[in-house]
Amino acid sequence: MKNFAKEFFKLEGGPDKKPLCITEFLSEAGNQLNPIDPATVATGAQVGTQAAAAAIAARPWIYAALKTNTLGGTGLICPWCSSTFRGLVATHYTAATKVNAAAALVGLDVALGVALVKEYQLVKKGGCY
């Protein structure tokens, strides 16, 4: 049972090698918050501040997606239960808003929204646990 539990809660675990839904959400949030592609932004100054704010805001989500959980798998099962994760979110969000408040606020909202939609679509297809 212990080996099954460890396998089940890996990033691609479980009987059908399906990912854990919360890990997929966290991974997508981190992906969405990764630095903005310079080719999509008009000026060098915008690239610098928007990309920097996005990169800073992404760190806690990437941490949560990659962190080893209590069952030995990948991805925090209950990220908001982790004081470390909550502290990282608060610290990095504050740091991101100091770099570019608008990019941090809008970027975080968009990233979490996109991640939630993708997770919902994956759940509907039975693609995660």
Domain assignment present for residue 129? The answer is: no
Domain assignment present for residue 103? The answer is: yes
pLDDT in tens, 34-81: 655 544 444 445 556 777 777 788 888 888 888 887 777 778 888 889
Domain assignment present for residue 55? The answer is: yes
Between CA 117 and CA 38 the distance in angstroms is 26
3-state secondary structure string across the chain: CHHHHHHHCCCCECCCCECCHHHHHHHHHHHHHCCCCHHHCCCHHHHHHHHHHHHHHHHHHHHHHHCECCCCCECCCCHHHCHHHHHHHHHHHHHHHHHHHHHHHHHHHHHHHHHHHHHHHHHHCCCCC
pLDDT at 83: 92
Q: What's the domain range around 72?
A: 2-124
Between CA 126 and CA 129 the distance in angstroms is 8
Please tell me the total count of domains within the chain.
1
Between CA 12 and CA 23 the distance in angstroms is 10
pLDDT at 103: 77
* Average pLDDT along the chain: 76
Domain assignment present for residue 63? The answer is: yes
Domain assignment present for residue 41? The answer is: yes
pLDDT at 22: 82
pTM higher than 0.75: no
pLDDT at 27: 82
